[in-house]
Amino acid sequence: MAKKKILLNAFNMNCIGHINHGLWTHPRDTSTQYKTLEYWTELAQLLERGLFDGLFIADIVGVYDVYQNSVDVPLKESIQLPVNDPLLLVSAMAAVTRHLGFGLTANLTYEPPYLFARKLSTLDHLSRGRVGWNIVTGYLDSAARAMGLDAQPEHDRRYDQADEYMQVLYKLLEGSWEDGAVINDRQQRVYAQPDKVHKVQHQGEFYRVEGYHLCEPSPQRTPVLFQAGTSERGLAFAGNHAECVFIGGQTKASTRAQVDKVREAAVAAGRDAESVKVFMGLTVIVARTEEQARAKHAEYLRHASAEAGVAHFSSSTGIDFSTYALDEPIQYVKSNAIQSATKSLQNNDWTRRKLLDQHALGGRYVTLVGSPAQVADELESWIAETGLDGFNLTRTVTPESYVDFIDLVIPELQRRGSYKTAYESGSLREKLFATAQPHLPADHPGASYRHTTETGALQHA
């Protein structure tokens, strides 16, 4: 029986410090060059050499101002500050690659759906169908205040808004232009047939939209839909909409439970359990021998900032850890931030010292350190024991960590039959799901907003 092929995204952000904080101080790190096109085009070409499925680009709107009630540490350590727009990177990277996908984070709370639909279609056109959207609703009060709100909407309420946002997007991306609308007929002087282009009329609780989608259908119409919420409400949203779900696992047992919940949510929404690909965040430090990998890990630790990692985690939970003594138990407080992050503190058995130890490399993701064979063993084990489909691989020293993985781990996985040796053709959706269909599958709710080919009637009532 053929081995399950591991899916891989490079996890990155249009900033200096992303997940593993402090490593921008390493002499071989180039992340301060993030403001240049070459930084990104060279990264895209590197990842395509490694046959990565995608570059998953995180984003935030707002700043991490919970720790010490200030932005002093985020500014000094560049904890996702400054941060540039992720969407504007895609055109340049798409121009120098043929297959690499792009998972782009955008906060729907602050992006009007009518204009955002145009951005997605434009990028899907320019990349020839290689775009995904990581759907986020935000979790920072600093973002809400910057956007003119007193505070961000309550957690579950944000998902109510997100459900309606998706309805509007499906109407625009799937229902406004029929497949045969564009004929590009010079003789008849008809580019698009008016009877096959439809006005979207939406009157809802959160959005009112009356207008035609501004773009003709792109290769995928709706980009591949990513999502990262694992709260009860987030899972319900994922079951309805997500095609790829990003989770943060700490143990194989807890990760298996998360994966099972994601698949159960898809089934509850009337979709196939395998219609969702599940990715876990992971850090890898690899060298030709275990001894060399351990030495490299020790070298990285000398440059990393545990305090910066804890400051980041403060905003994820909404708890100012700086107010606690090193060994004082941290009290769980329900907040409006990331519920999966605060849930990890519910037993009240965490202290600031424990958090600093956990964030020794500047982040809190599972870290694999070893030779190519040892890393490959662990990757295969995580896939086999948890039901994961793949990983979002974080960066440590840029671009060294990706180069090491591509040169050392990828060939080992390929020898074992656990990783592809060439890209398949087609869009990002076709590659990820091994399908000949670039559009949303029939069991996805977004597909019901299409007009039928035979009658032109809208399928969604």
Q: Which residues are annotated binding-site positions for FMN?
A: 59, 105, 155, 159, 231
Q: 65-78 b/e with 16+ CB inside 10 Å = b?
A: bbbeeebebbeebb
Going by the annotation, the residues of the binding site are 59, 105, 155, 159, 231
Q: How far apart are CA 441 and CA 437, in angstroms?
A: 7
Report CA-CA distances (Å) from 416 to 10, 54, 386: 21, 22, 19
Task: Give strand pairing partners of 280.
Answer: 247, 391
Q: How many CA atoms lie within 13 A of 114 on its CB side?
A: 12
Give the up-direction half-sphere exposure of residue 4: CA atoms within 13 A in the CB hemisphere: 18
